Structure 1
Amino acid sequence: MNVQLFIPCFVDQLYPQVAFNMVKVLEKAGCTVSYNTAQTCCGQPAFNAGFWGEAKEVCGKFLKDFSGTDYIVAPSASCVGFVRNYYNTLFENAPESALAKKTAERVFEFSEFLIHILKIDDLGATFNGRATYHDSCAALRECKIKTEPRQLLSKVKGLELVEMNDVETCCGFGGTFAVKFEPISIAMGDQKVNNATETNAEYLVSTDMSCLMHIDGCNKHKHAGLKVMHLADVLASGY
């Protein structure tokens, strides 16, 4: 199966190993992976800030960069949720309307692609440790992803997965929310760290590095000792 990679801005700039590990897993699952180096942002930051005109330009470029019929896979439910749920609104009654709809149908978050499209949940990964999982708001509410990451993690040899309290509560990142409402954002992040550490987990895993970046900042400030890992990093371990 041919797959186009969409690598979000912050993963490209700050966590490139997540992208490489996703490629490693997809290739092990039998996919032929391609990456268009001309790709940039999905347009979500500008859209969420109210700059719909500027966002439309960026989103239009996304549609061109990911033309074709191949599945588009990304290690970020936040970006996937935006393309899937808001491109139709942004391009409503525009010439790109049909293309936006078709593109939204082809884009998948990493874990849901493995489970629902490839129909695979055991990648032969081995990772020794105790971990807890964080449901990102975008994954849970925009992409309806809940069981998929847990099913994949349950197949990882050596990994003990434990649930934290209030697991579906927001971590406080929310993109520009963390900038505009910093005290509230930090308090929410601190609560997420507290809930995670109460499980005695060594690792906190999620589908979204944006959440993990925020949580890790709170974690380090509190000297809580958690290690954050993207799902792709775990699934690429041990082989």
Structure 2
Amino acid sequence: MKLALFSDLHANREAFEACLEQAHLHGADRIALLGDFVGYAADPAWMVTKVQDLVSQGAIAIRGNHDDAVVRGPSANLIEEARRVIAWTRSQLTPAQIEFLADLPYTSEESGCFFAHANAYAPSEWDYILTRSEAIRSMHATRARHSFSGHVHTPKLYHLSSTGKIADFTPTPGVAVPVPSHRQWLALPGAVGQPRDGNPAACWALFDTDRYTLTFHRVPYDFETTAAKIIAAGLPRVLGERLAHGN
């Protein structure tokens, strides 16, 4: 099976449509959506409807911190721009769409794979995996050999040997990485809707569960249209401008 992994979509319709098209061309059989479907960009209603449709077709979907903020109210650590967008987003969604977000789980596990937006050890507290120590803590919190998380907005791959030795690297887009099950792996596919590694191209990854390979992808998309929508909606201009720089 080829499992397409998408995280941090952030109401960016143009980026997600481009990623879905590429995933289809690469023969993806199933989809895992690692949260943050809303926030930052101007198409939250379209995005939630799309996620609902994909879930009805068998996709895995996990709640992110921005989704949680729409349901529960923003946490204190959300930046001011994000808080403004959350308030606006609530006005754009129907009660049924908000209920859908409220019903999303914080984690999911199946077929030896673990899925969470932030991490495995405290998935509803939204700690970032920024260092090897956080990656080890997350991998130790699950028995799954392959874990997938988002939240960080930059692609990264960690692996842990049976002796407890950890290593990490930034993957090269389009190059398949062997991820055999005798090690434990934690993959951060990067952000679809708001990359933050200096590259404006949208991120996604493809896990081949038969060959045990993981391929990270970058997809150019029409970020000018996304930025124009953000500005037209009256959202903070910086959220549109930053898309051109991937920061």
Q: So what's the TM-score if we normalise by structure 1?
A: 0.32
Greater C-alpha Rg: 1
TM-score, normalised via structure 2 length: 0.31
Higher helix residue share: 1
Q: Which has the higher strand share?
A: 2
Greater relative CO, 1 or 2 (CA 8 Å, sep 6+): 2
